[in-house]
Amino acid sequence: MSDDDELRAELAARERHLPPLAKTRGDALRDELKSKAHAGFVEAIDALLDERWAKRRVADHMGIDIHTLADLYDGKRNLQAWHLAALPARGRMVYQRAMLGWDGTPSSTRSGTHG
């Protein structure tokens, strides 16, 4: 199984254990996930910039203008699912790892996992 498949499977397993985000349940979990999603997006953009991607190139790849990218990065706009899907492949991988808290250690060597 590839790293990408393993990350997707782990994300799906974790999502099954999250409580519903109905508005009647309060905002704490929703705010926590929103904050975590933003932090993962920032981490993804930073990783791309570290790999010599220009901000304009990232924005062009995503189909947005540079100002929208800056607003998303600064948290002035809410992230939408399509923003994350539009990230370059390396950015999506960094985002997935950030959301899972995955450090790159193979699953067979992490505590509490088998296989």
Instruction: Identify whether the C-beta of residue 97 lies closer than 8 Å to the C-beta of residue 53.
Output: no
DSSP string covering the chain = --HHHHHHHHHHHHHTTSPP--GGG-SHHHHHHHHHHHHHHHHHHHHHHHTT--HHHHHHHHTS-HHHHHHHHHTSS---HHHHHTS-HHHHHHHHHHHHT--S--GGGSTT---
Q: Please compute the mean of the pLDDT values over residues 42-69 and round it to a whole number.
A: 97
pLDDT tens digits, 12-41: 888 777 766 655 566 788 888 899 999 999
Pick the CATH number of 29-102 from 2.70.50, 1.10.260, 2.40.10, 1.10.10: 1.10.260
Does the structure show a pLDDT above 70 at 104? no
Instruction: Identify whether the C-beta of residue 73 lies closer than 8 Å to the C-beta of residue 42.
Output: yes
pLDDT tens digits, 90-99: 999 999 999 9
**What pTM value is reported for the model?**
0.69
Greatest alpha-carbon pair distance for the chain in Å reads 45
Q: Decide: residue 8, CB within 10 A, 0-12 exposed, 13-18 middle, 19+ buried.
A: middle
